[in-house]
Amino acid sequence: MHGNFFNRSEAGHLLAVKLAKYAGRPEVLVLALPRGGVPVGFEVVAALRVPLDVLVVRKLGLPDDEELAMGAVASGGLRVLNTTMLSMAKTADRSIATVAARERHELERREKLYRLGHPAPVLHGRTVILVDDGIATGSTMRVAIAAVRRQHAYRVVVATPVAARSSYLELRAAADEMVTILMPKEFTSVGQFYTDFAQTTDREVITLLTRARQNRWREETIALPVGQLV
């Protein structure tokens, strides 16, 4: 039995209601975590009439189990390692470097693809709302918060339709504000709370970012560049 949101767009629309106090404020910027956070973030900025951009974070999976995160890398050159996980897994420094290099390459590929020549936004002194489609362990969002703090954002708000209770408590302490709709006691995966949890593609990310940059919130199509679309 699937959960409480039909899709990411509906979840974003509902999340925007909880963020209404930020509507129209010139210092506010929404940074969505691609790919799944972008459809959610688009609905948020469409309602609040504030800018949308992306913050790319790539999980560093253990070499023998990529689902287990030993850390993450983020836009701006930040790398954070989970020392507890690394000590338990006894992962060699060479393996960490190999995984980190691979994920850094993918991070740079996505940033280049998504930005279409636009520079990264200046975060200094701004209120940054970090948006994802859901938070399970919170490892990716913790790195996102650290990356935004490093760039001297004035206020960091984490906003997500659904978060595991333990992660919510941890992130609430790391961010200035934590906004969520659901905080279920039983949490297996983010997808269990969506009826439609199809993978968001690069093409969809580019479409939504382009529409947001042009303030074309409700248009259905936009010309897209050719190549490297997944």
Q: What is the mean pLDDT of residues 170-197?
A: 94
pLDDT band at 221 (very low <50, low <70, confident <90, very high): very low
In this structure, whether the domain defined by 8-57+124-213 belongs to CATH 3.40.50.2300 is answered with no
| Residue (of 167, 138, 154) closest to 72 by Cα position | 138
Residue 111, burial from CB neighbour count under 10 angstroms (0-12, 13-18, 19+): middle
- pLDDT over 60 at 76, yes or no: yes
pTM of the model: 0.84
Residue 223 binned pLDDT confidence (cut-offs 50, 70, 90): very low
pLDDT score, position 229: 46
What pLDDT digit, counting tens, does each position of 101-139 carry? 888 888 888 888 998 888 889 999 999 999 999 999 888
Q: What's the mean per-residue pLDDT of the chain?
A: 85
